[in-house]
């Protein structure tokens, strides 16, 4: 991006102490950042509707988010890395595609009763969390909320019965979805939410987050003596969007699917997790 040209030093002072000072990264977003019109996705999306009527507001207010964790063994992770390297991309591509496909499978399963005919393909809208540290000149050893999201979408072929995503056809979809994400990053889309907030145009959040699910990209823990690591979030169960949070440690990957029990039944999320693993194994052996 043009505003990074000539940048040789981080725009913040970093102490030598391991505990770095808090950085208000939104202050580093170029003042010229703006968007001509609200974001509009080129595709519609399948939606995962609640299987039962949600609790009333008072009951929902007392509920907290829950999660389902699925684990990918080291051998499969190594195979997936090899297949990914062969295709000249990053692990985010197959992992994100497998998650979106697994969530699409859960949505298809929940809508079996009202599916008319055989579905040939399914479209998914999502957003992907992206790391802004390099773009904002923040040291890579600095960890805080210096992240944002960019839109991503994917189109999947269905099985012959039309009741699930055809995992054997996922690599082309994975590469296409990754290209969408990278293009949005290059175009500065990661700064849109900051722009919306700065302008107070909060109505624009609605269409932006009219999505099936949220993908949180991949974290890596490199530390001696830690065999596995999981992500567990806590908070109010008001958000209907199911999110996926992968993290790898020592070659083992754990994916946490975080959801609101006020909006989704645990078996639905468990099914999405199983389908994620199903698709990953196909991607790792393709």
pTM of the model: 0.88
Whether residue 147 has pLDDT greater than 90: no
Whether residue 15 has pLDDT greater than 90: no
Q: What average pLDDT does range 76-103 have in this prediction? A: 97
Q: How far apart are CA 102 and CA 276, in angstroms?
A: 5
Q: What average pLDDT does range 278-282 have in this prediction? A: 97
Cβ contact 227:198 at 8 Å: no
Q: How far apart are CA 120 and CA 75, in angstroms?
A: 33
Predicted pLDDT at 103:
98
Task: State the alpha helices, DSSP H only, in 200-265.
Answer: 205-208
Length of the chain: 286
Q: How far apart are CA 118 and CA 115, in angstroms?
A: 8
Tokens representing 254? 């754990």
Predicted pLDDT at 226:
79
Q: What is the pLDDT of residues 91-116, one digit of tens each?
A: 999 999 999 999 999 999 987 655 56
Number of neighbouring beta carbons within 10 Å of residue 81: 16
Residue with tokens 């700064």: 191
CATH class belonging to 60-285: alpha beta
What is the percent of the chain with per-residue pLDDT over 90, rounded to a whole number?
A: 60
* More confident call, 281 vs 13: 281
Predicted pLDDT at 111:
74
Predicted pLDDT at 116:
60
Q: What is the pLDDT of residues 26-76, one digit of tens each?
A: 888 888 888 989 999 999 999 998 766 777 777 777 889 999 999 999 999
What is the percent of the chain with per-residue pLDDT over 70, rounded to a whole number?
A: 89
Structural domain spans, the chain: 60-285
Number of neighbouring beta carbons within 10 Å of residue 68: 19
Q: What is the pLDDT of residues 189-234, one digit of tens each?
A: 999 999 999 899 999 999 999 999 999 987 887 777 777 788 888 8
- At 191, is the secondary structure helix, strand, or coil? helix
Give one DSSP letter per residue of 152-174, joined into a string.
EEEEEEBPTTSSSB-GGGHHHHH
């Amino acid at each position: 991006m043009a505003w990074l040209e000539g940048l040789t030093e981080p725009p913040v002072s970093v102490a030598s102490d391991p505990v770095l000072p808090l950085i208000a990264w939104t202050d580093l977003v170029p003042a010229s950042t703006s968007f001509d019109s609200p974001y509009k996705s080129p595709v519609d999306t399948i939606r995962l509707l609640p299987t039962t009527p949600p609790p009333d507001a008072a009951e929902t207010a007392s509920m907290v988010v829950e999660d389902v964790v699925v684990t990918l063994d080291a051998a499969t992770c190594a195979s997936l890395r090899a297949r990914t390297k062969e295709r000249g991309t990053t692990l985010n591509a197959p992992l994100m595609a497998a998650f979106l496909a697994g969530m699409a499978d859960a949505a298809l399963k929940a809508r079996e009763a009202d599916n008319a005919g055989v579905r040939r393909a399914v479209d998914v809208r999502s957003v992907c969390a992206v790391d802004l540290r390099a773009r904002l000149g923040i040291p890579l050893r600095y960890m805080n909320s210096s992240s944002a999201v960019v839109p991503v979408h994917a189109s999947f072929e269905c099985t012959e019965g039309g009741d699930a995503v055809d995992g054997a056809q996922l690599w082309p979809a994975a590469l296409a979805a990754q290209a969408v994400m990278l293009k949005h990053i290059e175009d500065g889309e990661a700064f849109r939410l900051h722009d919306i907030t700065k302008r107070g145009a909060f109505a624009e959040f609605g269409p932006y987050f009219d999505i099936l699910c949220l993908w949180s990209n991949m974290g890596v823990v490199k530390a001696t003596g830690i065999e596995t690591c999981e992500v567990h979030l806590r908070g109010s169960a008001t958000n209907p969007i199911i999110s996926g949070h992968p993290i790898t440690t020592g070659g083992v990957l754990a994916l946490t699917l975080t959801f609101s029990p006020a909006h989704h039944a645990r078996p639905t999320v468990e099914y999405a997790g199983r389908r994620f693993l199903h698709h990953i194994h196909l991607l790792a052996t393709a």
